[in-house]
Amino acid sequence: MFGVRILTRTTGPDLAVRVSGDLDSRRAVLLVHGMAGDHSTWRSTARRLRAVSRPVISVDLRGHGRSGRGDRPYRLDDLRDDLDFVLDELGLDTVDAVGHSLGAHSLLRLAMTRPERVSRLVLEEVPPMPRDQADVDEQITVSARFGEHVRGLVSLVQNPYPVLRFDRRMAETVASEFEVSAPQWWAKLERVTAPTLVISGGPQSFLPPRHLATLAEALPDGRFVRIDTGHSVHRDKSREFIDAAVGFLDDR
């Protein structure tokens, strides 16, 4: 099986997924992109996974790519529930999973509420919820640096379709959820049963590495690695990212 499928539903937007390989819940890997991306961001990672006989499901989150936009404001829990729906529709009880930024946050929410669905988890540059007012005041999720914008523009020239298809309403509505402290979110991290690798892009990223290291420490089985390049590690240091992610997924 190889190609884009549209998963239709009676409530909520339809979701597009690109499936490659014969799905097997013991080997399948779910890939979830960041904001303003789509499934195409994972081409190099998916190629490497297929080379080691791992079936791959690359999702377009709602409001992205070929997926629908929905008829209500975007919420983080909706993105989590969309991933749960995708696994149901594909007949997968559990998967390994890799996510970037917003996609990583959505996967982490899934691992909190449905821990049995995620076997191993790689979180690249995952934005944590603010723990307290000091975190809120730091505004780490919205203060992108100049270098990030430049690299983003280069990527846009190379592949403009993800940004053109992106529903820009999402940025404001999702960002608002990160403007309120959520200590309860941190408390729920203990529910995650999957061994988890948290990957930081280092000081070039707008997400300070210390916050991601703290997140890894708060997880029951969390590990932390820093690959200095910025927010899009899988794009800007593809080989190092793939070696770390695939190595972790196969470390059983």
CB of 35 closer than 8 Å to CB of 170: yes
What would the pLDDT profile of 151-198 be if each residue is shown by its tens digit? 443 354 456 677 778 888 888 888 889 888 999 999 999 999 999 999
Burial class from Cβ neighbours inside 10 Å (0-12, 13-18, 19+) for residue 177 reads middle
Q: What residue ranges do the domains of the chain occupy?
A: 2-249
Task: Identify the pLDDT of residue 146.
Answer: 34
CB-CB neighbours of 252 under 10 Å: 8
Strands 15-20 and 196-200: unpaired
Q: CB-hemisphere CA count at 13 Å for 196?
A: 32
Specify the CATH architecture of the domain 2-249: 3-Layer(aba) Sandwich (3.40)
Confidence of residue 138 (pLDDT cuts 50, 70, 90): confident
What would the pLDDT profile of 196-223 be if each residue is shown by its tens digit? 999 999 999 989 999 999 999 999 999 9
Does the pLDDT at position 233 exceed 60? yes
CB of 208 closer than 8 Å to CB of 128: no
Task: Identify the pLDDT of residue 148.
Answer: 44
Query: Rounded to whole angstroms, how far apart are CA atoms 169 and 172?
Result: 6
Backbone angles phi, psi at 132, to 5 degrees: -155, -175
Q: What percent of the chain has pLDDT over 70?
A: 90
CB of 32 closer than 8 Å to CB of 118: no
Task: Identify the pLDDT of residue 137.
Answer: 84
Q: CB-hemisphere CA count at 13 Å for 152?
A: 15
Tokens coding 101: 């930024």
User: How large is the average pLDDT for residues 116-144?
Assistant: 86
Q: What percent of the chain has pLDDT over 90?
A: 69
Task: Identify the pLDDT of residue 252.
Answer: 66
Task: Identify the pLDDT of residue 145.
Answer: 42
If we measure between CA atoms, which residue out of 136, 107, 110 comes closest to residue 123? 107
Rounded to two decimals, what is the model's pTM?
0.91
* 23 contact partners, CB below 8 Å, separation of at least 6: 1, 55, 57, 90, 91, 92
Does the pLDDT at position 147 exceed 60? no
Task: Identify the pLDDT of residue 4.
Answer: 87
What would the pLDDT profile of 65-106 be if each residue is shown by its tens digit? 999 997 778 899 999 999 999 999 999 999 999 999 999 999
Task: Identify the pLDDT of residue 182.
Answer: 93
User: How large is the average pLDDT for residues 34-47?
Assistant: 92
Task: Identify the pLDDT of residue 2.
Answer: 60
Task: Identify the pLDDT of residue 67.
Answer: 95
Place of tokens 């190629």: 47
Task: Identify the pLDDT of residue 26.
Answer: 74
Mean pLDDT of the chain: 88
Query: Rounded to whole angstroms, how far apart are CA atoms 68 and 60?
Result: 9
